[in-house]
Amino acid sequence: KQEVTQIPAALSVPEGENLVLNCSFTDSAIYNLQWFRQDPGKGLTSLLLIQSSQREQTSGRLNASLDKSSGRSTLYIAASQPGDSATYLCAVPRGANNLFFGTGTRLTVIP
Amino acid sequence: NAGVTQTPKFRVLKTGQSMTLLCAQDMNHEYMYWYRQDPGMGLRLIHYSVGEGTTAKGEVPDGYNVSRLKKQNFLLGLESAAPSQTSVYFCASVSPSYNEQFFGPGTRLTVL
């Protein structure tokens, strides 16, 4: 059974710092991995989707990498800002079109 | 282009009452999903649909029913609400090109 783990559960950093969020999965037979952002009381916003044939994807200050062989993905946030404060979730496919979600990392960027 | 919308945003029910949550998407997606999110449990799939007129059970389907009469709408029903169904409910639809999921803003349900 697939398990998706995100460590740490919570992270606080000062504004301007670069940071890395981690996502581990036990079954490497995935065809993509998706990173989401969730603000308190809000829905999930898709940040990046990495196909299994790709090793990384970039969007603005965000860079996500995927290493299927080691069962790991990282989300790198450059020059963090207070507006980046949110919970970040990774998810891998489950069956045809469903997702296994990690429990998330709650990020706080301190001004 | 509204994406995925959900109504209502909030609802308080008494045990035994019934209600229907509505999800609508304007992206012409075939696949739609209902999740619940609980503290420490992450998101769990309740039911899903792979097209108009079809539905299937997910991970935690008990106590819920769904219908997909129109492609753009996916309804989640609680026939007799229980306190264990207090949760935040999210609907999602999937882009067929990259299997990317798009989420609605959620419905916060409290069952007293």
Contacts of A2 in chain B (CB under 8 A): none
Instruction: Say how far apart CA B68 and CA B75 lie, in whole Å.
Output: 7
Contacts of B98 in chain A (CB under 8 A): 32, 49, 51
pLDDT tens digits for chain A (111 residues)? Answer: 788 999 999 999 999 999 999 999 998 888 889 999 999 888 899 999 998 888 899 999 999 999 999 999 999 999 999 999 999 999 998 776 678 889 899 999 999
CA distances from A3 to A25, A46, A50 (A): 6, 20, 18
pLDDT of residue B98: 66
Residues contacting residue A53 through CB under 8 Å, at least 6 positions apart: none
State the smallest CA–CA distance between residue A81 and chain B in angstroms.
23
pLDDT of residue A65: 95
Instruction: Say how far apart CA B96 and CA B5 lie, in whole Å.
Output: 19
pLDDT of residue A97: 62
Query: A44–B90: do the CB atoms touch at under 8 Å?
Result: yes
pLDDT of residue A75: 97
Decide if A22 touches B, using CB distance below 8 A.
Answer: no
pLDDT of residue B66: 97
pLDDT of residue A82: 97
Residue A79: DSSP 8-state: S
Interface A:B, Cβ pairs < 8 A: 53
Q: What is the mean pLDDT of each run of 10 residues along chain B (112 residues)?
A: 89 97 95 91 90 92 96 96 96 82 93 96
Decide if A99 touches B, using CB distance below 8 A.
Answer: yes
Q: Which helix (H) or strand (E) holds A110?
A: strand A105-110
**Residue B93 dihedral angles phi and psi, to the nearest 5°:** -125, 160
Contacts of B33 in chain A (CB under 8 A): 98
**Could you give the angle at the alpha carbon of B70 between the alpha carbons of B78 and B100, nearest 5°?**
85
Residue B62's Cβ-side half-sphere holds a number of Cα atoms within 13 Å equal to 2
Residue B27: DSSP 8-state: S
Residue B66's Cβ-side half-sphere holds a number of Cα atoms within 13 Å equal to 28
